[in-house]
Amino acid sequence: MEGVERFGDPWEHIRLLSDAGRNEALLKMLATRAPGARVLEVGCGTGLWSCTAAALGAKEVWAVEPTAISEVARELIAANGLTDRVHLLESTVEELEPRPVDLAFSELLNADPFYEGVVEAMESAATWLVPGGQLAPSRLKVYAQLVRSSDSAKEVRDARRAIAGVGERFGLEVGPLLSGLADPGPYRYVTGGERLASEPVLLWDIALGTGEEPDEEVVREITSIDPGPIGGVVIWFEADLGGGITMRNPPGSTTHWGQHVNAWPAEIGAGAGASVKVRAIIEDDSVSISPA
């Protein structure tokens, strides 16, 4: 996973732990499944949820964390007298020999749902489960919706005008520059307030820990709900923790994740009920969506 050390930054964990909805979902799941269980937490971060699992009655907890934040987890485990039951493993789960557990859970989720390697991590975590053991999340769904955002398209138009203006003013041949910037692809960022232009469409539905991998490329038609320019696509996820408990970040919700936007360098005009075809690609654990 690229940039794994970024998740050793304390601010990343402050953001996570400020999300009441996320916290409540994890607490509900652990309250149901941790008592009396052997537990694996993949990406334990500060160790709070591993310690919580033990406090709820877990018999044994394996807390896996590869980044520098593991030192905080170590101190938290010791401060609570849990070193006999909560075992910190400073590694990625993919690098470890499996131990038998009844519950394997994680929250390797991001506004770009695949960025933290949740599919690969839960595949490895599943090998720790005894027969009848439970994986959380066990399913990941990723949705897309059209958005009106046109800032990126405006920036592209402004840049072209600026390049042409400099060329004209100083007698420069700027064709190679314009050609080199002709197809910059989508500009990707996280937001919480884009104007929606469609209902959600399912891109991926993955049963985690089963060997199922998401298609690297999918093409979907998304119907515009009213006329106007389409400036890109927003994606969001729903992770199934079992028992009707989910973690999700749809547009309009207040989560630390926000929503991941792929804004296009040129808008597409679409009338009400018009179909816009998009191509979604997973490359290097990151989603990129462009007009098809």
Tens-digit pLDDT profile for residues 148-202: 977 889 999 999 999 999 999 999 999 999 998 988 999 999 987 789 999 999 9
Residue 211's domain is classified under what CATH number?
Answer: 2.70.160.11
Q: What ranges make up the beta strands (E) of 149-285?
A: 187-191, 201-207, 217-223, 228-242, 245-248, 259-270, 275-283
Average pLDDT, the chain: 94
Under the banding of pLDDT at 50, 70 and 90, the label for residue 2 is very low
User: Do 48 and 189 belong to one domain?
Assistant: no
Q: pLDDT digits over 93-131, tens only? A: 999 999 999 999 999 999 999 999 999 999 999 999 999
The pTM (predicted TM-score) of the whole model is: 0.92
Domain boundary among 77, 106, 136: 136
Calculate mean pLDDT across residues 226-246.
96
User: Do 127 and 156 belong to one domain?
Assistant: no
Mean pLDDT lowest for which of 129-138, 153-162, 208-217?
A: 153-162
* Domain residue limits at 149: 141-291
Query: Cα separation of 248 and 291, whole Å?
Result: 25
Domain total of the chain: 2
Mean pLDDT lowest for which of 136-145, 185-194, 202-211?
A: 185-194
Strands 228-242 and 201-207, sheet pairing: unpaired
User: Do 148 and 105 belong to one domain?
Assistant: no
Q: pLDDT digits over 37-84, tens only? A: 999 999 999 999 999 999 999 999 999 999 999 999 999 999 999 999
pLDDT given for residue 194 in this prediction: 85
Beta bridge partners of 269: 229
